[in-house]
Structure 1
Amino acid sequence: MSNYSTLQKDFYRESGKWLSKFEIWAKCVNPNLHFIYILRKTQHYKKKSVMGMFWRMVLRHHQIKYGYQIYPETEIGEGFYLGHWGSLVINPKAKIGKNCNIAQGVTIGQQNRGKYEGFPVIDDEVWIGTNAVIVGGVHIGSNVLIAPNSYVNFDVPANSVVMGNPGKIYPKEDATEGYINHKI
Structure 2
Amino acid sequence: MLVDGARNTGDFAVDLAKMYAIVLDGPRTSWLSRLRFWLFDYELHCVAAYRFGRWATRLRARNRVLGVLALGLYWFWNRRTIRVHHADLFRRADIGPGLLLMHRSGIIVGPATIGSNCVLHQNVTIGQRIADGDLGVPTIGDDVWIGPGAVISGAITVGDGCTISAGTVLSKDVPPRSLVGGNPGRVIAKDYDNSNMINFVVPNGVGPS
Give me the TM-score of the superposition, normalised by structure 2.
0.78
- Structure 2 residue runs without a partner (length 5+): 61-66, 203-209
Aligned partner of 2:120 in structure 1 is 102
Q: What does 1:113-128 correspond to in 2, within 5 Å?
A: 114=132, 117-128=135-146
Q: Is 1:116–1:154's contact at 8 Å kept on the other side of the alignment?
A: no
Aligned partner of 2:147 in structure 1 is 129
Q: Deviations over 1:6-51 (max 9, x none)?
A: 11101122232459xx887752211101111122122111355212
Structure 2 SS opposite 1:108:
strand
Distance 1:100 1:38, change over 3 A: same
Q: What does 1:49-60 correspond to in 2, within 5 Å?
A: 49-60=68-79
- Structure 1 residue runs without a partner (length 5+): none
Query: 2:9 matched to 1:9?
Result: no
Q: Is 1:81–1:100's contact at 8 Å kept on the other side of the alignment?
A: yes
How many residues in Structure 1 have an aligned counterpart in Structure 2?
A: 182
C-alpha separation between the residues in 1 aligned to 2:136 and 2:87? 21
Structure 2 SS opposite 1:178:
helix
Query: 2:37 matched to 1:27?
Result: yes
More RCO (CA 8 Å, sep 6+): 2
- Higher-helix-fraction structure: 2
Question: Which one of 35, 39, 43 corresponds to residue 50 of structure 2?
Answer: 39
Query: 2:162 matched to 1:140?
Result: no
Give me the TM-score of the superposition, normalised by structure 1.
0.87
Aligned partner of 1:163 in structure 2 is 181
Q: Is 1:15–1:182's contact at 8 Å kept on the other side of the alignment?
A: no
Q: Is 1:9–1:79's contact at 8 Å kept on the other side of the alignment?
A: yes
Q: Select the structure of larger CA radius of gyration.
A: 2
Aligned partner of 2:83 in structure 1 is 64
C-alpha deviation, 1:61, in angstroms: 1.4
Superposition RMSD in Å: 2.4
Distance 1:73 1:26, change over 3 A: farther
C-alpha deviation, 1:73, in angstroms: 1.1
- Higher-strand-fraction structure: 1
Distance 1:4 1:25, change over 3 A: farther
C-alpha separation between the residues in 2 aligned to 1:146 and 1:183? 21
